[in-house]
């Protein structure tokens, strides 16, 4: 994963900045529907992370080898950084 982060750091920085901007503009989710949608996105990120981590377990059934595994790991990492940026941007106080 460290090699992935060292290769994909420009994309990770971009995901963090775009997520922070999106979170800042959108703000925290209010109401039942947006909270359910935000929870669904977080569950999808956890599922992608779990599928990525399954490759670390010997004999993991969800291990994805080769180029597709690299794509999955990159997408899971960037989605997690994007969501962290969204949470960071949404938590910043707004000026009147």
Q: What is the average pLDDT across 6-34?
A: 89
Give 37-75 pLDDT, tens digit per residue. Answer: 888 988 888 887 777 676 655 555 556 677 877 787 788
Lowest mean pLDDT among 2-6, 13-17, 20-24, 44-48: 2-6
- Taking the complete model, does pTM exceed 0.85, yes or no? no
pLDDT score recorded for residue 19: 93
Q: Is 59 helix (H, G, I), strand (E, B) or coil?
A: coil
- Asked if pLDDT for residue 4 goes beyond 60, the answer is yes
Domain ranges of the chain: 32-90
Say if residue 15 is exposed, middle or buried (CB neighbours under 10 Å; 0-12, 13-18, 19+).
buried
pLDDT score recorded for residue 58: 55
Rounded-to-integer distance, Cα 17 and Cα 61, Å = 34
């Amino acid at each position: 994963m460290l090699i992935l982060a060292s290769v994909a750091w420009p994309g990770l920085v971009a995901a963090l900045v775009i997520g922070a901007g999106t979170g800042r503009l959108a703000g925290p989710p209010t109401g039942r529907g947006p909270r359910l949608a935000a929870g669904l996105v977080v569950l999808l990120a956890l599922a992608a992370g779990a599928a990525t981590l399954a490759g670390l377990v010997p004999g993991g059934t969800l291990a994805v080898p080769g180029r597709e595994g690299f794509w999955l790991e990159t997408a899971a990492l960037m989605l997690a950084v994007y969501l962290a940026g969204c949470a960071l941007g949404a938590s910043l106080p707004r000026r009147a």
